[in-house]
Structures are given as structure tokens and as C-alpha cells.
């Protein structure tokens, strides 16, 4: 038995090796390079000088840059919460449709994802009133519309896994529809909610196309700041902004992974998993036995 477990453990490590190498070469090494560039001195002809300098980080953490970072966080949070508020009732309504209509509606909702973000943004430039363009409200509306399917699809999947008998039982026990939603539906769809929030929050935080075209130079977010630093050939500052953006993107992902790990290690999780995997014995089968 020990040999079988040892061989299976070795097989798992061997299968995980390609993904580990991919993450190392595609994420860790470029991230280290970006951090290295942010600690070098600026050179106008060549980009950087091979000497240590903290000027880029001093600029990236001054009052102006901190306001840009704060605005980027506020916009990303506003987009995520707006999309969440729209997609929850939408997912509940979709689940009440027949299966073929549900699939067609999800396909139609996901169709804009196969088109270019630039084309969609140009389309919104013709739809947004001129007095709204150049405002944070317009940027939030367009970004939310672009990433709405990324929240709707995980939520719909979470609702598909939800047993409707649980809601019926809650109503039979006297719960109002509002109480059934907050005490049953909301906790049981937490996985889809977190997945959708990450899928929306992460790209919204570094959004460049929408603030550039819809913002018309009046909305400066972190993605715009990175582009401006590259235009000025200030590679260390662009690298510092990029490192801050990467840290802000990784933070919610790490928090979600830690919460998931803590939940799986809780003493209730194995019991719930055993109950889901253990077949129930009906009264007829018990009587037959």
C-alpha cells in the first residue's frame, strides 16, 4: 500500500511539473525582471542605467500616485459591485427558464467576449452621451458592461449546483423569499460569487482602453499611468507602477485561496463532503433489507 501511495505521489508531482515550469517562466521570472527594472536608474536614450536607484518607487508612492491608485481601486470595486448587483437577479431569472432558452440566453450574453474590446469601446463612444464622456461614471458603466459575462457565467453555474429542494424547505419552514435568499441562496452561491468577483476585479483594476477612449484624457487610472510612463521612456517608473498593480491583483486571489484552504481544513468540511458522497438509504430499501 505504501508503494502505491508513493508511486501516486510521484506521479502527481511529475504531472504538476509542466505547470510549475510554466508558472516559473511565464510569471515569476518576468515579475522578478519588472521588480529589478523598478530599482534601476532612469536613462533617456536606453531606458535604464545599471545602477541602484529608488527614485521610481519614491515617485510611485507620492501623493499624486497614491491618488491614482486609490481611484483605480474605487473604480474596480464599483465595477465589481455593480456587476454583482446586476448578475445575481439575472442568474436567478435565467435558472427559471427552460433549459434550451437558458443555453441560448447564456450564449447570447457571452457573445460579446469574442469581439474586440476596442470595437466594443468604440461602440460605447457612440452610445454614451457627450456630457457623460470624460467622467468616472461613464468609465464604470462601460467597464461593467464589458465584463458582465465574466460574473454572470460563474453565478449561473453556482445556481445550477444549488438544490431547489433546499429553498422549498426554507419556505416550508416559514422563511420569506428575502430570508431564503440571504440565509440559503447567498451562502450556497459563494463560490460563484468569489470566482466572478476575481474575474471582474482583476482586469478592471488595470483597465486601459476604456479610460483612454471613454475618459478622453480626464480619467487617470493605474493603466493610464503605466502607459504614460512608457511614453516618457521612464522604464523604472512604469515597472514600479506595474509591480504595484501586480500586487493589488494578487492580493484578492491570495485571500480567496487562503479562505478556501481554511474552509477545507475545518472539521465541518469533511462531514459535509461525506454526506454528499454517501448514498441515502430510502425507507423502502431499509424495509427490504
Local confidence band at 254 (pLDDT 50, 70, 90 cut-offs): confident
Number of helical (H) and strand (E) elements in the chain, helices listed first: 16, 2
CA distance 156 to 244: 33
pLDDT at position 11, please? 77
Sign, CA torsion 55/60/63/64: positive
pLDDT at position 79, please? 96
For the question of whether the overall pTM of this predicted structure is more than 0.85, the answer is: no
Strand partners, 40: 52
For the chain, percent of residues with pLDDT exceeding 70:
87
CA distance 84 to 275: 31
Average pLDDT score over residue span 3-28: 74
CATH of domain 75-218: 1.10.3720.10
Distances (CA, A) of 74 to 2, 69, 155, 216: 53, 9, 23, 19
Listed residue (224, 155, 168) closest to 195, CA to CA: 155
Instruction: Tell me the average pLDDT of the chain.
Output: 83
Q: Residue 90 belongs to what H/E stretch? A: helix 63-95
Instruction: Domain ranges for the chain, please list them.
Output: 26-60+221-258, 75-218
Long-range pairs for 18-23: beta carbons < 8 A, 24 or more residues apart = none
Tens digit of each residue's pLDDT (9 = 90 or more) over 54-77: 999 999 999 999 999 999 999 999
Q: Kindly state the DSSP code that residue 47 receives in the 8-state scheme.
A: E
* Residues near 109 by beta carbon (within 8 Å), at least 6 away in sequence: 148, 149, 152
Amino acid at each position: 500500500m505504501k508503494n502505491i501511495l508513493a508511486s501516486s505521489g510521484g506521479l502527481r508531482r511529475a504531472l504538476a511539473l509542466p505547470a510549475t515550469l510554466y508558472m516559473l517562466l511565464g510569471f515569476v521570472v518576468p515579475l522578478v525582471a519588472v521588480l529589478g527594472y523598478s530599482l534601476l536608474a532612469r536613462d533617456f536614450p536606453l531606458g535604464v542605467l545599471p545602477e541602484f536607484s529608488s527614485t521610481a518607487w519614491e515617485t510611485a508612492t507620492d501623493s499624486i500616485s497614491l491618488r491614482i491608485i486609490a481611484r483605480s481601486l474605487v473604480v474596480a470595486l464599483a465595477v465589481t459591485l455593480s456587476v454583482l448587483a446586476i448578475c445575481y437577479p439575472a442568474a436567478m431569472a435565467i435558472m427559471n427558464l427552460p433549459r434550451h432558452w437558458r443555453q441560448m440566453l447564456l450564449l447570447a450574453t457571452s457573445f460579446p467576449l469574442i469581439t474586440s474590446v476596442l470595437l466594443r469601446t468604440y461602440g460605447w463612444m457612440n452610445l454614451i452621451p457627450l456630457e457623460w464622456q470624460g467622467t468616472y461614471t461613464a468609465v464604470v458603466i462601460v467597464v461593467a458592461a464589458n465584463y458582465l459575462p465574466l460574473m454572470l457565467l460563474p453565478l449561473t453555474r453556482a445556481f445550477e449546483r444549488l438544490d431547489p429542494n433546499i429553498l422549498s424547505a426554507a419556505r416550508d419552514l416559514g422563511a420569506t423569499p428575502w430570508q431564503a435568499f440571504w440565509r440559503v441562496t447567498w451562502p450556497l452561491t459563494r463560490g460563484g460569487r468569489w470566482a466572478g468577483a476575481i474575474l471582474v476585479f482583476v482586469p478592471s483594476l488595470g483597465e486601459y482602453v476604456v479610460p483612454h477612449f471613454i475618459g478622453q484624457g480626464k480619467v487617470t487610472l493605474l493603466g493610464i499611468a503605466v502607459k504614460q510612463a512608457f511614453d516618457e521612456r521612464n522604464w523604472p517608473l512604469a515597472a514600479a507602477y506595474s509591480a504595484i498593480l501586480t500586487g493589488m491583483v494578487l492580493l484578492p486571489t491570495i485571500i480567496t485561496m487562503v479562505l478556501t484552504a481554511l474552509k477545507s481544513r475545518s472539521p465541518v468540511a469533511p462531514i459535509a463532503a461525506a454526506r454528499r458522497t454517501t448514498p441515502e438509504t430510502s425507507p423502502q430499501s431499509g424495509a427490504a433489507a
